[in-house]
Amino acid sequence: MSEPLKAPAEDDSSVGRASAASGSARVLGRIARQPVTLGALVFLLLLAASAIAAPLVVPYPPAEQHHSAVLQGPSAEFLLGTDDYGRDTLSRLVYGARIALLVGFGSVTIAMLIGVPLGLLLGYYGGWWDRLGTRALDIADALPGMLVGFAVIAILGRGLLPMMAAIGLIFCMNFARITRAVTLAERGKLYVDAARVAGLRTPEIVFRQLLPNLVGPLIVQAAVFMGSAIMVESALSFLGLGLDTATPTWGGMLSVASGELARQPFLAFPPGVAIIASVLAFNLLGDGVNDALTNRRRPAKRRTRTPDGTGARPAAAGSVGDTAAEPGALLQVRGVTVELDRPAGTPVPLIQDVSLSVGRGEMVGLLGESGSGKSMLARSVLGLLPPGTRLAAGSIRLDGAELAHRSEREMRQVRGRTLAAVFQDPLAALSPVHTIGQQLTEPLHAHLGMSRAAARKRAAELLDRVGVEDPRRRLDDYPHQFSGGMAQRVAIAMALAAEPRLLIADEATSALDVTTQSQVLDLLLDLKDEFDMAILMITHDLGVVAETCDRAAVMYAGQIVEVNDVRSLFDRPRHPYTAALLAANPSGEATTDRLPTIPGRVPLAGEWPSGCHFANRCAFSRESCLRTPVPLADDVRCLRTGELTLEVSVR
Ligand SMILES: Nc1ncnc2c1ncn2[C@@H]1O[C@H](COP(=O)(O)OP(=O)(O)OP(=O)(O)O)[C@@H](O)[C@H]1O
């Protein structure tokens, strides 16, 4: 076992060590710097305070009639005049605010209780659930809101609760739509994949990972709908469908005013202004909060890669020379094809007939240009294929157990225990609204059944192991308080939590600067030995493969074209594409000028030639190469491999 790593010299002080509350404090700070939003907030707080303290602040009880002062204009005695019964308008206005705010709050709560879980389910599950659900939402939306309100009140009768239920039903569809849209966007993010990889169950992912990320948009919408709810309440009261006429409501006051316009036109002003001002204030508040949150959520600057510096060193001693399927290999992928379903037309293969094995404790590199299918292969193994794609053929065996076509529930048992993954962007792979401690302890608690205290202790040990200084304190930090390199260490610690047998590192170091990349690679190598863990290292970077891997596989246009031990692959490539890739490597020193660049472009999925996928770009292709599909034989997918001598080296 290797010694625990000391924290590297990497400086993460620049990203701040703000307290856990700093995110909310920053948002509040931004709101405080928006005078209009602040004004709206102060107005609404005063309105709420006066509504709550109404008996203490109003000059007269709202129902008290002053028969000698009917329909008066503003005066010192009655600041906003009186109504047709001589009741003080100001007092009724303040009491009306109670009803308006209560109905607004109650109806928005009802709308959220119905709409948010519905939107979460539609957005998270997608597919038929989503299609049927959104059609149902469309139909519900087509019904005029007020008609729905009338129907509910007709059924339930007049009163505070029926009014809240009616307005809640009108708005619940909007909450469902917003929640669905945000969930659809969030569920494709890496932190959700990471949570699935960590083996969290669907309710845990939906309610603990996704829901907290919806809080911002939901607060904004709740503020806006509070205003709308007040408007609907006023409209229903105006039409006489609200509370009984003795109860002071703004809509009811307007209704009275409309009958007395000729005698006292001022009567309409106080409730009219109150409705307009509060609706406007709620809208301005929603807008302001939205601006403040959007600012908060602006993605952090990506680290830029410094040029090269990834000098290749000789492949690890004892490289596995036999690249054929190994009996008892930890991971055995055989003939895997993933297809993209199209509503009309035949499915398009995204990867085709892919076979690859990874031995126990072995580190295998997966190379290939963008779009060659590396991530799709990784996702097939993880059981995380994107919506619309499916495993059409093949077998994926991990530690002897078949993973192909397993249900999500079954895959959860595998992910996070035997199988784990680290992705390219660690900050995207970590939930922004949970502390590192919460995210690290969750899989320990969920998989290993550890108590919260034991899980926290283990989490601190893991952080220490991956080189995070002061781990106990840093458990309470949020992902944004870590630099890219440190966040990747945290992501690795999460992946290691249940000591998996196979770690899939999908471009895990690509977003890091060269120094940090080298530190993280060293860490992975140490951990591989310490945990006797195999690693499938997906990368574009030939240097990373040369430096760290035992074997490497090269993918091109959805197929594996060559597999070999690293030394042989780099010294004596057997497939023209491998040779071209090596020669085109900017850090390499090509010793032959036969293939300095790769002409043409990678064909898109669905546009692959029927024979060899590389044939159109290959300097050595013959007519026979285009005729029939070329199988992977003796770990190379080339009909002419026996005839060619491809000498390219990147060392
Ligand atoms: N969500 C998706 N839906 C449909 N097709 C997809 C999806 N993601 C990727 N593809 C397609 O699948 C093929 C393989 O893509 P994949 O992301 O696996 O390539 P890659 O080698 O990992 O590329 P990169 O190195 O850029 O990540 C490409 O043709 C790509 O356009």
CA of 373 to the centre of ligand 1 (A): 6
Atom of ligand 1 nearest to the CA of 372: 21
| pLDDT score of 410 | 86
How many whole angstroms from its chain centre is CA 564? 37
Atom of ligand 1 nearest to the CA of 379: 18
CA of 515 to the centre of ligand 1 (A): 28
| pLDDT score of 311 | 34
Residue 450 backbone class (left: φ over 0; alpha: ψ -120 to 50; beta: rest): beta
What CA–CA distance (Å, rounded) separates 192 from 200?
A: 10
- Strand runs labelled E in 328-462: 331-340, 348-358, 363-367, 389-398, 401-402, 419-422
| pLDDT score of 70 | 86
What CA–CA distance (Å, rounded) separates 47 from 45?
A: 5
- Strand runs labelled E in 384-517: 389-398, 401-402, 419-422, 502-506
| pLDDT score of 588 | 45
Our answer on whether the CB atom of 376 is closer than 6 Å to any ligand 1 atom is: yes
**Helices vs. strands in the chain: H and E counts, helices first:** 23, 10
Dig out the tokens for 455 from the structure: 């899980």
| pLDDT score of 31 | 78
CA of 630 to the centre of ligand 1 (A): 22
* Residue to mutate (ligand 1; options 356, 372, 545, 613; most atoms within 8 A of CB): 372
CA of 451 to the centre of ligand 1 (A): 40
CA of 550 to the centre of ligand 1 (A): 25
ipTM associated with this complex: 0.96
Our answer on whether the CB atom of 510 is closer than 6 Å to any ligand 1 atom is: no
Q: Which residues of the chain have pLDDT under 70?
A: 1-24, 190, 294-328, 586-597, 644-651
* Residue to mutate (ligand 1; options 333, 375, 539, 545; most atoms within 8 A of CB): 375
| pLDDT score of 320 | 32
| 331, β-bridge pairs | 358, 398
Question: What DSSP designation does 633 have?
Answer: B
| pLDDT score of 88 | 94
Atom of ligand 1 nearest to the CA of 605: 29
Instruction: Look at the pTM and tell me if it is higher than 0.95.
Output: no
Residue 369: burial class (beta carbons within 10 Å; 0-12, 13-18, 19+): middle
* CB contact at 8 A, 282 and 45: no
In three-state secondary structure terms, 237 is helix
Question: What DSSP designation does 69 have?
Answer: G
* CB contact at 8 A, 241 and 153: yes
What CA–CA distance (Å, rounded) separates 185 from 644?
A: 48
CA of 351 to the centre of ligand 1 (A): 9
* CB contact at 8 A, 562 and 365: no
What CA–CA distance (Å, rounded) separates 278 from 234?
A: 12
What CA–CA distance (Å, rounded) separates 322 from 319?
A: 9
Atom of ligand 1 nearest to the CA of 368: 21
State the Cα angle at 124 between 118 and 128, rounded to 5°. 80
Residue 345, amino acid = G
Dig out the tokens for 59 from the structure: 């000059």
The alpha helices in 157-299, defined as continuous H runs, are 160-187, 190-197, 202-203, 211-238, 250-259, 269-297
| pLDDT score of 3 | 35
Our answer on whether the CB atom of 386 is closer than 6 Å to any ligand 1 atom is: yes
CA of 605 to the centre of ligand 1 (A): 9
* Residue to mutate (ligand 1; options 333, 350, 385, 391; most atoms within 8 A of CB): 350
* CB contact at 8 A, 248 and 92: yes
Q: Residue whose CA is closest, atom 24 of ligand 1?
A: 370
Atom of ligand 1 nearest to the CA of 377: 18
What CA–CA distance (Å, rounded) separates 483 from 511?
A: 12
Dig out the tokens for 42 from the structure: 């102060």
Q: Residue whose CA is closest, atom 16 of ligand 1?
A: 373
Dig out the tokens for 111 from the structure: 């709308």
* Residue to mutate (ligand 1; options 374, 391, 506, 581; most atoms within 8 A of CB): 374
| pLDDT score of 597 | 63
CA of 607 to the centre of ligand 1 (A): 14
Atom of ligand 1 nearest to the CA of 388: 3
For residue 67, CA distances in Å to 70, 260, 416, 602 come to 6, 16, 77, 88
Residue 326: burial class (beta carbons within 10 Å; 0-12, 13-18, 19+): middle
Residue 35: burial class (beta carbons within 10 Å; 0-12, 13-18, 19+): exposed
For residue 510, CA distances in Å to 149, 544, 552 come to 55, 10, 17
Q: Which of 417, 424, 422, 466 is nearest to 444 (CA)?
A: 417
CA of 46 to the centre of ligand 1 (A): 54
What CA–CA distance (Å, rounded) separates 502 from 534?
A: 5
| pLDDT score of 60 | 92
CA of 371 to the centre of ligand 1 (A): 5
**Dihedral sign (CA 604, 609, 615, 616):** negative
Atom of ligand 1 nearest to the CA of 371: 19
| pLDDT score of 637 | 93
| pLDDT score of 647 | 58
What CA–CA distance (Å, rounded) separates 329 from 359?
A: 5
Our answer on whether the CB atom of 388 is closer than 6 Å to any ligand 1 atom is: yes
| pLDDT score of 310 | 33
Our answer on whether the CB atom of 574 is closer than 6 Å to any ligand 1 atom is: no
| Strand 534-538 versus strand 502-506 pairing type | parallel
Q: Which residues contact 153 (CB under 8 A, 6 or more apart)?
A: 162, 163, 166, 236, 241
